[in-house]
A and B are shown apart, each in its own frame.
Chain A
Amino acid sequence: MAKKKTRTRRPEVMPRVHQPEKAVVYILGDSPMVEEYIVLCSSHGYAVAYDAEGIGAVDASLARKTAKMPENVSFALELTNIDLEKKRKNLEALDKALPVTTAIVSSSVTVSATEQSSWIHHKSRLVGFCSLPTLSTASLVEVAPTVFSPAETIQVVQRFFKSVGKEIELVQDRVGMVFPRIVCQIINEAAFVLQEEVASPQDIDLAMKLGANFPFGPIEWADKLGMQQVYAVLSALHRDLGEERYRISPLLRQMALSGSWWKRM
């Protein structure tokens, strides 16, 4: 099976598992979360392998890119929020290749963890969590167990997040979770304001930072999270809850699809 030719000339067989003291985390998903989690995990002592397209340059000393699932994966992270077909394929592949006991922690911002667990055979290994760009630096992470998640899986996930310096908050498994849902609705409202030409992007950000002590303005936030991610969250909320209040600003949709900020003609 091992096609890779070892370059070593030494006759003795080296152990297959290099750096056995390091647990291996395997990461799949959207940019830029993959890069963020590579940095987070490797800086906390994990050996990191990943497979993702469209990812910026990753320092080879931090992580190894491999389409073939490495052995001894102790933990898998699936971070896709946008392309849910791709997410499904990723999860199916992980479920097939990983030992039954290996936990999969999967972003459940745009599709519930429960729905995701219906895509795989070993449902008890999957737990949802909140992954959005820039949130990997926050001290807290929302975790959403499913009805299939036994206490052991939740403990494994808790231990993992603790090991990378994060507290967890257990929330019900619902699309949008807590922070993404609130912040994306704030951004959506700001997009309606822009669309109606009620105020400039600069004044919107200034008003909310100086007036309401928001840490960032809605426009700044959209830039940090990425408009496509914001659009994916809002679309998921609209799809899942079917309520008029989650109607997406047409301007926001255009900005997500065109990848650029609106300019007044």
Chain B
Amino acid sequence: MVKHLGIVGAGTMGAAIAQLAALAGIDVVLYDINDTVLRQALERLKRSLNKAVEIGELTAEQSTDAFTRIHPRTRLIDLSHSDIVIEAVIEDLRIKKDLFKHLEAGTKPTTILASNTSSLSVTAIASATHRPEKVVGLHFLYPVEIVKIVEVARTEETSEETLQRCRDFLNQLGKTVISVTDSPGFIFNRIVHPFHSEALQILGEHVADAEQIDRIMKSEGGFPFGPFESLDIVGLDVSLNTTKALFESSSGDSRFRPHPIQKRMVESGHLGKKSGRGFYTYEEGKK
């Protein structure tokens, strides 16, 4: 059982994981180097927990309890008692490696050091520590509170004990574990990729237009949404970054080559639903 969780990075993902864990009764130290980011995260968490009470998902007591379980901190040493530390900082290998070095020094030897990376090599991150058997990838997907799965990425060095503790921890959070080996894109991003990428390819060849392709994938294929509706929701910039990372980490495998249409749309600022225009136009968030 995980009693103390440490989270590094109070951005969207870090804060969402903190909330999830706090609601599962786990004490969370939420660390960020930047005090302002930390305060904003707490405000967001408070709003989100209050909203859950308003819509009847939580009682006021549950909400308050969860909030008091989240301890904002700006010193790494405050993570020292954590059973698991999850890193959710910017996707930059140098920053992550440096961080893991500090985490190793500042935590007890049994602490599992997990990365929420979706595109970097967990193996490379683990190489910065002297306890690679305790290093693992825990890829939470956005939005954390809704998506049921978490990819647990093991390196050659990750121990079975570490994996078992991670599986138990994710059970505590009510998540379904997807076991993967450390590899580019793990499996989620990698298999979602052709859904978007092949649709772009078909669009680029003028086999059908975006609306037709979406209609076909829904009515013929039974998908709840079409690839272009999906890209608009994910954000074309976010999806392009994921694709670029896949392309790079696979040493340029042509299956993962970013499509020129997507690049051009990102360049022109048509990022999807959030910018009001992607493959569709949106007014007040509606097509």
Q: Which of A169, A183, A211, A216 contacts B149 (CB 8 A)?
A: A211
Is A87 interfacial (CB 8 A cutoff)?
no
A51 within 8 A of B: no
| Interface range on chain A (Cβ under 8 Å from partner) | 35 or more
CB proximity to B under 8 Å, residues A156-210? 167, 169, 171-172, 174, 177-179, 181-183, 185-186, 188-190, 193, 196-200, 203-204, 206-208, 210
CB distance from B206 to the nearest CB of A (A): 6
Report the minimum CB–CB distance from A123 to chain B (whole Å): 21
B-facing residues in A3-29 (Cβ within 8 Å) = none
Q: Are B254 and A245 in contact (CB under 8 A)?
A: yes
B188 at the binding interface (Cβ < 8 Å)? yes
At the interface, yes or no: A135 with Cβ under 8 Å from chain B? yes
> Could you give, for residues 151-180 of chain B, a 1 whenever the CB lies within 8 Å of some chain A CB and a 0 otherwise?
100000000000000000000000010111
A202 → chain B, closest Cβ, in Å?
Answer: 10
Residue of B nearest to A172 (CB): B207
CB pair B216–A245 under 8 Å, yes or no, is no
A212 within 8 A of B: yes
Tell me whether A140 is interfacial, beta carbon within 8 Å. Answer: yes
Q: What residues of chain B lie closer than 8 Å to A190, measured between beta carbons?
A: 191
Q: Residues of B within 8 Å of A, CB-based: how many?
A: 45
The CA-CA distance from A252 to B224 in the complex, in Å, is 27
Do the beta carbons of A215 and B223 come within 8 Å of each other? yes
Q: Would you call B190 and A138 a contact (CB within 8 A)?
A: no
The residues of A that contact B183 with a CB separation of less than 8 Å are: 196, 198
Interface check B193, CB cutoff 8 A: yes
- Chain B's closest residue to A207 (CB) is B178
Q: Of A169, A199, A212, which contacts B212 at CB under 8 A?
A: A169
Is B198 within 8 A of A185, CB to CB? yes
Q: Chain B residue with minimal CB distance to A178?
A: B216
Closest to A177 in B: B207
Contact call A189/B208, Cβ cutoff below 8 A? no
Which of A140, A185, A186, A207 is the most central at the interface, judged by chain B CB atoms within 10 Å of its CB? Answer: A207
- Report chain B residues within 8 Å CB of A214: 195, 223
Chain A residues whose CB sits within 8 angstroms of the CB of B221 once the complex forms: 138, 179, 182-183, 215
Q: Give the one of B151, B176, B187, B220 with max A CB within 10 A.
A: B220
Q: Does B52 contact A (CB under 8 A)?
A: no
A140 touches B224 (CB 8 A): no
Contact assessment for A189 and B190 in the assembled complex, using a CB-CB cutoff below 8 Å: yes
Q: Chain B residues with Cβ under 8 A from A208's Cβ?
A: 188, 191-192
Tell whether, in the assembled complex, residue B254 and residue A211 are in contact, meaning their CB atoms are under 8 Å apart.
no
A139 part of interface (Cβ distance < 8 Å): yes
In the complex, which residues of chain A have a beta carbon less than 8 angstroms from the beta carbon of B257? 245
**Pair A138/B220 contact, Cβ less than 8 Å:** yes
Chain B residues at the A interface, C-beta cutoff of 8 Å: 141, 147-149, 151, 176, 178-181, 183, 186-188, 190-195, 197-199, 201-202, 205-208, 212-213, 215-217, 219-225, 227, 254-255, 257
Apart from A142-B220, A214-B195, 11 more pairs, CB < 8 Å: A140-B216, A172-B206, A178-B208, A178-B216, A182-B199, A183-B221, A186-B194, A206-B176, A207-B191, A211-B149, A215-B223
Q: What residues of chain A have their CB less than 8 Å away from a CB belonging to chain B?
A: 130, 135, 138-142, 167, 169, 171-172, 174, 177-179, 181-183, 185-186, 188-190, 193, 196-200, 203-204, 206-208, 210-216, 218, 243-245, 247
